[in-house]
Amino acid sequence: MKSVAFGQYYPSNSVMHRLDPRVKIVIGIFYIVASFLCKNVLSFALLTVSALVLILVSKIPVKIVLKSIKAIIFIMIFTAILNIFWTKGPEENLILHWNFINIYVDGIYNAVFIAVRIISMIIGTSIFLTYTTTPIELTDGLERLLYPLTFIKVPVHEFAMMMTIALRFIPTIIEETEKIMSAQKARGADFTNGSLSKRAKALIPVLIPLFVSAFRRAGELATAMTCRCYRGGNGRTRLKVLKTTYRDYLALFFIAVFGAAIVLLNIYAPGYTM
Amino acid sequence: MSFIKIRNLKYSYKDDEGSPLGIIRDISLDIEKGEYIAIVGHNGSGKSTLAKLLTLVVDDYDYLEGSIEVDGVEITSDDMTEDGIYDLRKKIGMVFQNPDNQLVATIVEEDVAFGPENLGLERAEIRRRVDDALATVGMTEFIRHEPHRLSGGQKQRIAIAGIIAMKPECIIFDESTAMLDPIGRRDVVATMERLNKEDGKTVINITHYMDEAVRADRVIVIDDGKILLDGTPAEIFAEVDKLRGAGLDLPQCTDLTIRLKAKGIDINGEINTPEQCAKAIAAALGK
């Protein structure tokens, strides 16, 4: 259990891993928007190519990427079927007519387009935000990005601190859960057999000590933090300062070109349009 | 002037019925800069509360009488400001019992940097302090590790590094070795002693391991909220009956010598550490 990878971070030293997390967050959002802008065959083709390029550049094994797609395959098939059967097009595009079922070329195009959009979006966001960015970098990046919000009294630093502490304590609490479960098992608790309600009830003697201990930990941590002169985000400096390098500007340039290309293809490229 | 000056300190908690429950009943104590002190006492004797009062991390000051002065500032006075408390915590660092509940960050170096970051230091200065602190506790090679993958003793050394990086004059170890295995304990005690001997820090080790107390220059025994004994280890561990009365054990070697003497074996000298003990036994055998 100790080896659980949080946020599915995949350690490597690719260019993508070394980008500033702030830039990655911005690009990630931009990428989602771009995938929604795509309208015709060529722009979707470009989107597909971009997703493949992302996988190559980030050096994430295809197998791992496929795993994350597997999770949403049902939704994809479902939307594809809906699109195939329910899209109505002009009469000349009708390719199959049987009883009440009418299938148009448009429907098939739409089904493929939406599948490509969902897959690219998943690949894009997971590569920018989870596979190549550690949760802590992500928290850091968010804190800096949202910093302007502190002027309208949004406690950005406090949220980031909570996130950091949560991330720090996930492994500790998992370890403790295992310990308590073993202790209860040793006293004859059974977590695997019986009806659902029985198994849920068996978890109560695990959860109660876990919560009690979590509160005790929280108290002790607060004392330790106070002793280390913590008094909120004001006047605090940081060991690590996020730095944007030429790489980050290059990445921003590429995503801008990519966005522009999609818009241009939407307007000028021939063929079926959604 | 003493670094820490405690005068007639009394402190009580409110129990469930609301009546005050005396924890510290009357303590007066002077601690000089650069001392290496062990405070011992059985559970509930008030030794941890005393430590918490020194850094003002107790919940309620209403039940406090007497005074504590740290570096010439009376910290128990009513006009102690937030900034005053902050300055106090810069001077006195605390290392607690459970290493897991002291580490804040997910990477070792970021955790050590937490204190200096709170002090608002320059980036280069933080970097220097983090590197120095990790070198002092001998954990430099773990700089980019995740704390939860380290052993208890290693985690505790990271917690110590986090305090060292704030450059306090005094470090209090509040039962910091209680949850560690023997190897972890040995490393942590060695770190304490290095801080005292090489860096001249005032070290206060609150412990219930007598074998640790023996290594200090001065031992203070607290029983039932009062100071029972205060002196060098040799003086303290000669008071066998008083220690037993306070519910404390003797260091293993002292215990062994007493038993040997009871059996009529002629064994002499100040015997509190294993080295002294080995020499004395060798001498007795040689006769």
Per-residue pLDDT of chain A (274 residues; tens, 9 = 90+): 334 444 568 888 889 999 999 999 999 999 999 999 998 999 999 999 999 999 999 999 988 888 888 888 888 899 999 988 888 888 888 888 888 888 888 888 899 999 999 999 989 988 888 889 888 888 889 999 998 998 998 999 999 999 889 888 988 999 999 999 999 989 888 888 888 888 888 889 899 999 999 999 999 999 999 999 998 888 888 888 888 899 999 999 999 999 999 999 998 888 777 7
The structure tokens listed for B31 are 């601690």
Q: How far apart are CA A163 and CA A169, in angstroms?
A: 10
Phi, psi of B8 (to 5 degrees): 45, 50
Q: How far apart are CA B10 and CA B81, in angstroms?
A: 22
Q: Chain A contacts of B126, Cβ < 8 Å?
A: 237-239
Which of helix, strand or coil describes residue A259?
helix
A239 to B110: CB separation less than 8 angstroms, yes or no = yes
Picking from B57, B107, B110, the nearest residue to A227 by CB comes out as B57
**A194 Cβ neighbours under 8 A, 6+ residues apart:** A202
Picking from A168, A217, A236, the nearest residue to B104 by CB comes out as A168
Q: Does A158 touch chain B if contact means CB atoms closer than 8 Å?
A: no
Residues A115, A191, single domain; the answer is no
Q: What is the dihedral of CA B73, B79, B82, B88, to 10 degrees?
A: 10
Amino acid (one-letter) located at B261: K
Q: Does A224 touch chain B if contact means CB atoms closer than 8 Å?
A: yes
Q: How far apart are CA A145 and CA A164, in angstroms?
A: 16
Q: How far apart are CA B65 and CA B62, in angstroms?
A: 9
B123 to A167: CB separation less than 8 angstroms, yes or no = no
What is the Cβ-side half-sphere exposure of residue A155, based on CA atoms within 13 angstroms?
Answer: 6
Whether residue B250 has pLDDT greater than 90:
no
Q: Domain coordinates of chain B in residue numbers?
A: 33-59+74-245, 251-287
- ipTM at complex level: 0.87
Could you tell me the residue range of the domain that residue A100 belongs to? Answer: 10-146+242-268
Instruction: Identify whether A1 is part of a domain.
Output: no
B118 to A164: CB separation less than 8 angstroms, yes or no = no
B149 to A228: CB separation less than 8 angstroms, yes or no = no
Whether residue B268 has pLDDT greater than 80:
no
pLDDT at A2: 39
Shortest Cα distance from B174 to chain A (angstroms)? 11
Amino acid (one-letter) located at B61: Y
Pick the CATH number of B33-59+74-245 from 3.20.20.70, 2.30.30.60, 2.60.40.420, 3.40.50.300: 3.40.50.300
In the numeric block, the tokens 């309620």 are attached to B60
The structure tokens listed for A169 are 């304590």
> B201 with B169: CB under 8 angstroms?
yes
Shortest Cα distance from B272 to chain A (angstroms)? 34
- The closest of A228, A231, A68, A209 to B111, measured between CA atoms, is A228
Residues A82, A128, single domain; the answer is yes
> B158 with B95: CB under 8 angstroms?
no
Residues A168, A110, single domain; the answer is no
Residue of A nearest to B118 (CA): A236
Residues A219, A251, single domain; the answer is no
Overall domain count for chain A: 2
> Cβ of A79: how many Cβ atoms within 10 Å?
16
> A68 with A122: CB under 8 angstroms?
yes
Q: Does A233 touch chain B if contact means CB atoms closer than 8 Å?
A: no
A226 to B57: CB separation less than 8 angstroms, yes or no = yes
Q: What is the dihedral of CA A42, A48, A50, A55, to 10 degrees?
A: -170
Q: How far apart are CA B20 and CA B230, in angstroms?
A: 27
